Structure 1
Amino acid sequence: MLKNTTEGKEVPIGVNKRMSADSGCMPPEERREAVLEFMADHGIALPPKAIFRGMKTEMGIHFSYRTVQTILSELEEKGLVARVNKAALDDGDIEPIPKDEAGRRAYYMITMDGRREVNDS
């Protein structure tokens, strides 16, 4: 567990609740399931980099940020996650980004179909 010094005291930071010793050898399907499970556990819209960093901290993944981006794109194509407008999130709204705005930076959020898939596995 990592430690941070605050007012002269060491304070534990990080959770590392599901470290996987062999996550570097994780098959592609398990990687996809891990990303979906992470998103279901957190239940909020997150940018790809936050998903990647959170999975490294909590799950000890060893695959790359690019792999997470690729998985998110695949999950979006299957309707298991949705890209949402990050500006609308500031107002508390969840607004899907139209497919024709593919180049736009977005946050990703798990869909109800994605939650069902996590619950079924």
Structure 2
Amino acid sequence: MPQKTAKEVVLEFLGEHDYPHQPKDIYGGLIYSRDITFSYRSVQVAVSDLHENGHLKKVEIDTDEGVVRDLPPNSSKRARYVVSESGRRKLSE
């Protein structure tokens, strides 16, 4: 069986942990829960690629209103990421 790519591992992890994550939290979670051999930079690239392909969406946590809000794809705000509907379809394949 071929080894999974960083993108596949990241998408699976976020699918299993369905709440907003920053890339560093994703990397820490993968180090803690899986035997990964790739770097934090690889996670950053994977998250960026998954987002560009529509499999992840950017969100922000509004602590004043107590809500998680989608951010526009081109937003430069520091974001957290969650799996999009497209990402969920990919996971179910």
Q: Partners of 2:64 and 2:8 in 1: how far apart?
A: 26
Distance 1:97 1:58, change over 3 A: same
Higher relative contact order (CA 8 A, sep 6+): 2
Q: Partners of 2:26 and 2:89 in 1: how far apart?
A: 20
Distance 1:89 1:38, change over 3 A: farther
Amino acid at match of 1:118: L
Tell me the matched-pair count: 91
Distance 1:43 1:115, change over 3 A: same
Which residue of structure 2 aligns with residue 112 of structure 1? Answer: 85
SS of 1:84 mapped into structure 2 = strand
SS of 2:5 mapped into structure 1 = helix
Aligned counterparts, 1:27-106, within 5 A: 30-87=5-62, 91=66, 93-102=67-76, 104-106=77-79
Q: How many percent identity over aligned positions?
A: 32
Q: Partners of 1:51 and 1:108 in 2: how far apart?
A: 9
After superposition, the CA RMSD in angstroms is: 1.9
SS of 2:19 mapped into structure 1 = coil
Unaligned runs of 5+ in 1: 1-25
CA deviation after TM superposition for structure 1 residue 74, in Å: 0.5
TM-score under structure 1 normalisation?
0.67
Which residue of structure 2 aligns with residue 13 of structure 1? Answer: none
* Larger gyration radius, structure 1 or structure 2: 1
Distance 1:49 1:99, change over 3 A: same
Judge which range, 74-83 or 93-102, deviates more: 93-102
TM-score under structure 2 normalisation?
0.86
Unaligned runs of 5+ in 2: none
